[in-house]
A and B are shown apart, each in its own frame.
Chain A
């Protein structure tokens, strides 16, 4: 770990301004991912800004009938919230499908969105990785790529975004609220929040320097049968091979987003028109243009079958 300085911010604006003053700064909340990466010197911030005292830890109803989730709400708390469990079941299920109880007790809503990929080449600093060290190449392409992305990939990176929560947020059309060093605020639709790797895989999101997430808002509940299905080799404490977040209405219409297949939660709204026609039809559009490796080509069929399972479950209820 490289030496760093540390401060405790007292307000969102204060934190964002501090980040601007220290170009190598990072915000830290739960620290469940950042501290691991610092120990490995994959992240080497020169300054840490602790945002835990900003009071951004409440879940409130919005005037529009939705929910505003403070950036610091812990994953455990969010999963257990009665409004979330009642109106946004897919989010609650996604949260408890992630990590372990201990990690969920620490991990925050904003931090979950900002976690880095779990690609083993990203984690091993002896290996090339364009995400960790731009321009060095990608170890995973042509290497061990069973867990990796099958769509939205580039020649520079085939990493996935590891979050379960973000996939549910995507299917719920959440909005990410931020504050910038100049004090201005903006609202970023979740669809636009995470980037595809392109030729700059080291940049995960559209956040600008010093920009701090203050909340994630969910629109008014849309009902429907909500299911988060995570498929993995072991029953718990493993990242998704693929995951499906779905909201299925009585008439068979609905929404679907995928995890474990791309550099961001994967959703193509146009594909959802095929929902009444079944999983095969949806996935044909949802994963059109997929470019899997030899090792992860099974994910295409797995998505199709996982979605079929979800649709069968929704129908059965």
Chain B
């Protein structure tokens, strides 16, 4: 189905099942430990051996020699694969550095081999016997030092342009009566999902099957085929359950490739999990940024000029963190520019982590808005509202993209320089949030509110994240029991895909939820949008919607009903005087339909985004500078909420991640050696329960008929966007201390806190 006109009434609008806060349909499997995650699939293929990855001990240079003698002779060892005996390997479209290093080393902990043995312990012990002689070469590990050498980014994730210009920023800024100019820093962050990357690989002749943990099945298949130099048809990926991804599992990674290579060498199925301590350096991370923002405004607070520049680094051939992107859309102002500069670094590979671009971008822009409001003597909410815009102020035309990460098929449509937003309720989010959170009680004078030894403050930030449209397919079957089975290679990374897809199919076919079976994450199923960029929920359900429309037609056709006249409800289809159960309609043969959603140019005519407002109250220990979050509220306007319960879980999880970014998460770089030093969960701190207060989420009652037949949008990344700035602004309100360098740890506050009495 091609979606090229705004949605009108359709069966989803009944909202008998969709929109209800139903429990996860896979909840029981998860809570009883019976959901089959990649590493635990002991049953799928017999005789599994264990692989253990050897990571590079240097960050840049070459392997001079590898002595495998002792490792090969160790008990239980079946095979050892290194670049020397792996055969010719390609590089996947989505990988910047090769997954298997050697002799050239691209980054620390890059896989340089896998040791396969009968048991995990034997593989690990033998891996420790591999002796490697390296020759180090000098690398660039310091973004700060490389900043001035950074160049305009040639390629941008999503296929956008590196720079944009509207009007004449320099002139507009120079003429502005009130000016603000400051530079900020955000940290390197690690996804730290609960389940490490893991794969079981098995060859049958030249056919590879791998059970893995991956957000994007089709990408994983394509890049596995590309890397091994075999046809895609010879590769099958299966990933029904995923213990978190956050962007860290968008791509084929070393666990999967090394399992495939290990299995080929050992002539046995091989399972590999990436060691936790390898994850931050071996896989991808969120790049650190340096960001400079300048705003010029009139004395009464109208923004006249705005510039946002961002510097980040990546491996050669990599991409920048698109931290300035949202500034093209969020606030009004006639004269403006954005720019992304990319430094070549020899740190591990940077890539997407939950809300890439917006998470670090809004972490900065939304402090700037707070600082500028103060400079203008305005309330920060009123300042934002005054500069709201219902059209996109800066929409550069996109170049033809050959970027595989570009999710939108590029079309030759007329470029609209200032498209309207399909729906934009930022002002409503701010107003409602202010009322619910008690914003009027905020003392605009910082460092005035005390609670014993605690300095208390509240802060606000806008949330913004684009809604991305991408093709997504599904197959639906109706069987003689009246059961509807949905098959799509969509993934559920903890988001609730199983549940909202089941709700969609139940709504469309008029059956109760327990008559729907959802099967996901298998490349033998139709190709979906996958999970990433908060595009999964809307697009995958729209794909299921399309397939269900076809299935309804098939039912009507089989029963000889007039097309489009069937009323599907209570497990029956009704038309005129006829009322037939779906079980009967399906018959012994059953009925199958397959279709996909694809999009016209509605997302060119209208800009589709999601909006929100985050409110945070913090208390800062006046002695030690420890910050503890006391209250959090998010108000979100992001289209139809397909399931308020799973959507809320997404948002509070994202808010938690935002607190981590604000207060503690930072991969520390050893600039001499060139690696992330705190590469385990003991030293890379993410928030624990004790760090989080009760969190409240409000979804505005909204539908967006421009987005898809579901009238839904993304949710899961909006929840993190702006959170860090809301925390930072609350800390400022509590202490009067502005920290422009994340994370806001106590050492950055302690010199400026009041002297203890």
Decide if A and B are genuine partners.
Answer: yes
* A interface, CB within 8 angstroms of B: 1-3, 39, 41, 118, 120-121, 123-124, 126-127, 139, 142-144, 146-147, 231-239, 241, 279, 298, 301-302, 305-306, 308-309, 312
Q: Which of B670, B682, B753 has a CB less than 8 Å from the CB of A143?
A: B670
Interface residues on chain B, size class: 35 or more
Question: Are B685 and A302 in contact, CB atoms less than 8 angstroms apart?
Answer: no
Q: Mark B597-631, 1 if CB is under 8 A from A, else 0.
A: 00000000000000000000000010111101000
Q: Which of A39, A146, A147, A279 has a CB less than 8 Å from the CB of B756?
A: A279
Question: Are B623 and A305 in contact, CB atoms less than 8 angstroms apart?
Answer: yes
With A231-B626, A234-B664, A236-B690 known to touch, is A312 a contact of B756 (CB < 8 Å)? yes
Question: Are A143 and B677 in contact, CB atoms less than 8 angstroms apart?
Answer: yes
A239 CB contacts on chain B under 8 angstroms: 682
Question: Are B124 and A39 in contact, CB atoms less than 8 angstroms apart?
Answer: yes
B273 nearest CB across to chain A (Å): 14
With A234-B685, A234-B691, A236-B690 known to touch, is A309 a contact of B756 (CB < 8 Å)? yes
A-B contact pairs, 12 of them (CB 8 A): A1-B121, A118-B682, A120-B678, A120-B679, A121-B677, A231-B624, A233-B746, A235-B690, A238-B685, A301-B751, A302-B625, A302-B747
A236 CB contacts on chain B under 8 angstroms: 688-691
Closest 4 CB pairs of A and B: A309-B623, A235-B690, A126-B57, A298-B747
17 further A-B contacts with Cβ under 8 Å, apart from A233-B746, A239-B682, are A120-B678, A126-B58, A139-B673, A144-B668, A144-B677, A231-B626, A233-B664, A233-B743, A234-B663, A234-B685, A235-B688, A236-B688, A236-B689, A302-B750, A305-B623, A306-B623, A309-B624
Question: Are A301 and B746 in contact, CB atoms less than 8 angstroms apart?
Answer: no
A136 nearest CB across to chain B (Å): 13
Instruction: Kindly state whether residue B453 has any CB partner on chain A within 8 Å.
Output: yes
Question: Are A118 and B683 in contact, CB atoms less than 8 angstroms apart?
Answer: yes
A160 nearest CB across to chain B (Å): 13
Q: When chains A and B are docked, how far (Å) is the Cα of A241 from the Cα of B121?
A: 35
Closest A residue to B686 by CB, please name it.
A234
Q: When chains A and B are docked, how far (Å) is the Cα of A39 from the Cα of B664?
A: 28
With A144-B677, A308-B756 known to touch, is A120 a contact of B683 (CB < 8 Å)? yes
A231 CB contacts on chain B under 8 angstroms: 624, 626, 746
Closest B residue to A310 by CB, please name it.
B623
B687 CB contacts on chain A under 8 angstroms: 234
Question: Are A298 and B750 in contact, CB atoms less than 8 angstroms apart?
Answer: yes
A198 nearest CB across to chain B (Å): 25
Most chain A CB inside 10 Å of its own CB: which residue of B621, B670, B751, B753:
B670
A241 CB contacts on chain B under 8 angstroms: 746
Closest A residue to B453 by CB, please name it.
A309
B621 CB contacts on chain A under 8 angstroms: 309
Closest A residue to B56 by CB, please name it.
A126
A91 nearest CB across to chain B (Å): 21
Q: Which of B670, B743, B746, B757 has a CB less than 8 Å from the CB of A144?
A: B670
A142 CB contacts on chain B under 8 angstroms: 672
Question: Are A234 and B747 in contact, CB atoms less than 8 angstroms apart?
Answer: no
B677 CB contacts on chain A under 8 angstroms: 120-121, 124, 143-144
Question: Are A1 and B125 in contact, CB atoms less than 8 angstroms apart?
Answer: yes
Instruction: Kindly state whether residue B745 has any CB partner on chain A within 8 Å.
Output: yes
B663 CB contacts on chain A under 8 angstroms: 233-234
Closest B residue to A127 by CB, please name it.
B673
A13 nearest CB across to chain B (Å): 33
B691 CB contacts on chain A under 8 angstroms: 234-236
Instruction: Kindly state whether residue B680 has any CB partner on chain A within 8 Å.
Output: yes
Q: When chains A and B are docked, how far (Å) is the Cα of A238 from the Cα of B691?
A: 12
Q: When chains A and B are docked, how far (Å) is the Cα of A127 from the Cα of B680?
A: 15
Q: When chains A and B are docked, how far (Å) is the Cα of A305 from the Cα of B683?
A: 24
B627 nearest CB across to chain A (Å): 9
Q: When chains A and B are docked, how far (Å) is the Cα of A142 from the Cα of B672?
A: 9
Q: When chains A and B are docked, how far (Å) is the Cα of A143 from the Cα of B676?
A: 11
Instruction: Kindly state whether residue B128 has any CB partner on chain A within 8 Å.
Output: yes
B746 CB contacts on chain A under 8 angstroms: 231, 233, 241, 298, 302
Q: Mark B135-146, 1 if CB is under 8 A from A, else 0.
A: 000000000000
Q: When chains A and B are docked, how far (Å) is the Cα of A237 from the Cα of B689?
A: 10
Closest B residue to A278 by CB, please name it.
B756
A2 CB contacts on chain B under 8 angstroms: 125
